[in-house]
């Protein structure tokens, strides 16, 4: 470097707010810093980026990636690791320790799922933290206590392990646990762990929970979770629930779980959450919902825009859904519903009686696992009931049936008075996960 380089650096350095690899509209804008500049910044503190706010740490710039410490300063508020895999040669715990020591104003920390690192001793310094994503990072009891007392933590994505006694932790933490929590995303082995965790959450702002289980829940544990969820402090504003166990269709690893039958009565605690807009239950259990349950759901959740009630157990294993086409017109009350995924039974349906239009807002209709008596006849009438549908999902249809349904979708599109989605109609074959 020559003298003029230092002059330019000192002019531009205070103007730099973001450093690294920034995802933008599906593309990445890369930052490259010459090794000589990195060495100069390391040796001379006056050359550091005093106003740097965001660091997107990525391995494509090897020199900068190997030593990021010169760029970590008191003004940094956002830190994210942007990396394709875990094949990197860096001391991540040391980097995070530097972040904890030198960035008192840090607000967001994003650590990819393939970096399991213990943050328990670090989070107590991050009082300004609003968002923490570390889905493979476990916490000790002390670490969880520090996490629970962060006054501004609004969004948390993390791994919840067994062995932390949450009730004892709640009374020992000397604070109202998670007072500002709004969005919670949890990967955990058993649903009992998230139930215990919810028992200690004191936030009146919690409105979104996403749960990823390793195994399907037994019925008593699921019932207790639903009862706990129905009584959370933020029940009046809570609007988003996703829960799935990540198992494949008809997974045989846990066959004993397939006998778990969830009745409409088991799901009743959800009706205390009056503001639900997104409900997705995707579990390796039997969800024996019926027309009466659907009617209550439609009247309780008028702002619902996404409804997925899906079990992944074949009808031969347990009782199938008792929802029939006759029960679908209650969806007319849902003026914002766009995605519908339920099992229906058309075997006893008399199509000679017109059921009318159920929804003019639903764009995606998925009926995987449904008992379909006559696919062509049934779908012709179902598309009359949902005239704006441009995507149909159903498992196990023959190719000629899928082609015929696609033709129906195109014909419906031509007959619509209003323009539908910009993308063309298509049919999912979810067993193959392909577009037709």
- In sequence order, the β-bridge partners of residue 278 are 240, 306
Mean pLDDT, residues 405-418 taken together: 79
pLDDT at residue 29, rounded to an integer: 58
User: Structure tokens of 401?
Assistant: 């049936």
- pLDDT mean across residues, the chain: 82
| 313 has pLDDT over 70 | no
Q: How far apart are CA 148 and CA 123, in angstroms?
A: 10
The answer, yes or no, to whether residue 81 has pLDDT greater than 60, is yes
pLDDT digits (tens, 9 = 90+) for 255-308: 444 467 899 999 999 999 999 999 999 988 888 899 999 999 999 999 999 999
Which stretch of 40-49, 208-217, 413-422 has the lowest confidence by average pLDDT? Answer: 413-422
Of the two residues 314 and 344, the one the predictor is more confident about is: 344
Is residue 333 pLDDT above 70, yes or no? yes
Top-confidence range, 169-178, 208-217, 318-327: 208-217
- The alpha carbon of 383 is separated from its chain's Cα centroid by a whole number of angstroms, namely 29
For residue 428, the model assigns a pLDDT of 57
The model scores a pTM over 0.75: yes
Mean pLDDT (whole number) for 305-313: 85
Q: What integer pLDDT is reported at residue 294 of this predicted model? A: 96
* pLDDT classification of 24: cutoffs 50, 70, 90: low
Cα gap 428→402, rounded to integer Å: 8
Instruction: Provide CB contacts within 8 A for 246, sequence distance 6+.
Output: 212, 213, 214
Q: What is the pLDDT of residue 122?
A: 81
**pLDDT (average), residues 34-49:** 80
Residue 391 has pLDDT above 70, yes or no: yes
Beta carbons of 253 and 222 less than 8 angstroms apart = no
Q: Name which of 36, 92, 37 is nearest 59 in CA terms.
A: 92
Q: What mean pLDDT is predicted for residues 407-424?
A: 69
**pLDDT > 80? residue 366:** yes
The whole-number average pLDDT for the span 373-382 is: 91
Confidence of residue 65 (pLDDT cuts 50, 70, 90): low
User: Quick check: 210 and 155 in contact, CB under 8 A?
Assistant: no
Percentage, residues of the chain above pLDDT 70 = 80
For residues 360-376, average pLDDT: 90
Cβ contact 285:261 at 8 Å: yes
Report d(CA 150, CA 130) in Å as an integer: 9
pLDDT in the model for residue 89: 60
Residue 254: predicted pLDDT: 43
Whether the per-residue pLDDT at 224 is higher than 90: the answer is: yes
> 87: which 2 tokens?
């094949």
Q: How far apart are CA 233 and CA 100, in angstroms?
A: 31
Task: Label residues 14-49 b or e (16+ Cβ within 10 Å = b).
Answer: eebeebbbbeeeeeeeebeeeeebbebbeeeeebbb
The average pLDDT across 8-36 equals 72
Q: Residue 418: its pLDDT value, please?
A: 47
- Determine the pLDDT at residue 141: 76
159 Cα distance to chain centroid? 14
Most confident of 127-141, 163-177, 221-235, 315-329: 221-235
Q: Lowest-pLDDT range, 60-69, 142-151, 296-305?
A: 60-69
Task: Give the pLDDT score at 170.
Answer: 52
For helices 375-385 and 399-415, angle between their N-to-C axes, nearest 10 degrees: 30
pLDDT attached to residue 31: 64
Query: CB-hemisphere CA count at 13 Å for 391?
Result: 20
* Alpha carbons 154 and 100: distance in angstroms, whole number: 19
């Amino acid at each position: 470097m020559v003298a003029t380089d230092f002059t330019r650096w000192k002019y531009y350095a205070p103007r730099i707010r973001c450093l690294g690899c920034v995802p933008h509209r599906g593309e990445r804008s890369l930052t490259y810093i010459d090794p000589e500049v990195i060495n100069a910044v390391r040796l001379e503190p006056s050359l550091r980026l005093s106003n740097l706010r965001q660091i997107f740490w990525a391995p494509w710039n090897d020199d900068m990636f190997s030593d990021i410490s010169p760029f970590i300063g008191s003004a940094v508020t956002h830190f994210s690791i942007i990396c394709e895999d875990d094949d990197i040669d860096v001391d991540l715990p040391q980097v995070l320790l530097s972040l904890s020591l030198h960035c008192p104003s840090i607000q967001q920390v994003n650590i990819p799922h393939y970096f399991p690192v213990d943050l328990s001793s670090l989070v107590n310094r991050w009082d300004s933290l609003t968002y923490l994503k570390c889905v493979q990072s476990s916490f000790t009891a002390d670490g969880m206590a520090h996490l629970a007392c962060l006054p501004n933590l609004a969004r948390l994505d993390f791994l919840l392990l067994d062995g932390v006694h949450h009730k004892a932790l709640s009374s020992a933490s000397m604070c109202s646990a998670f007072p500002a929590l709004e969005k919670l995303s949890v990967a955990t082995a058993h649903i009992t762990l998230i139930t215990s965790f919810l028992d200690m959450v004191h936030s009146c702002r919690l409105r979104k929970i996403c749960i990823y289980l390793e195994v399907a829940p037994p019925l008593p544990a699921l019932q207790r979770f639903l009862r706990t969820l129905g009584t959370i402090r933020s029940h009046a504003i809570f609007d988003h629930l996703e829960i799935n166990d990540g198992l494949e269709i008809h997974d045989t690893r846990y066959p004993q779980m397939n006998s778990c039958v969830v009745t409409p009565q088991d799901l009743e605690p959800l009706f205390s959450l009056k503001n639900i807009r997104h409900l997705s239950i995707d579990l390796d259990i039997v969800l024996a919902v019926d027309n009466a349950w659907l009617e209550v759901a439609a009247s309780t959740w008028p702002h619902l825009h996404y409804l997925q009630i899906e079990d992944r157990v074949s009808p031969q294993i347990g009782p199938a859904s008792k929802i029939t086409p006759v029960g679908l017109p209650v969806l007319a009350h849902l003026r914002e519903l766009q995605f519908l995924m339920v099992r229906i039974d058309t075997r006893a349906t008399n199509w000679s009686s017109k059921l009318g239009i159920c929804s003019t807002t639903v764009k995606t209709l998925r009926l995987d696992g449904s008992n379909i008596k006559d696919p062509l006849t049934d779908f012709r009438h179902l598309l009359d009931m949902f005239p704006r549908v441009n995507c149909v999902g159903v498992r196990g249809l023959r190719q000629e049936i899928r082609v015929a349904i696609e033709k129906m979708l195109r014909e419906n599109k031509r007959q619509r008075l209003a323009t539908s989605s910009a993308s063309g109609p298509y049919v999912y074959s979810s067993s193959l996960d392909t577009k037709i």
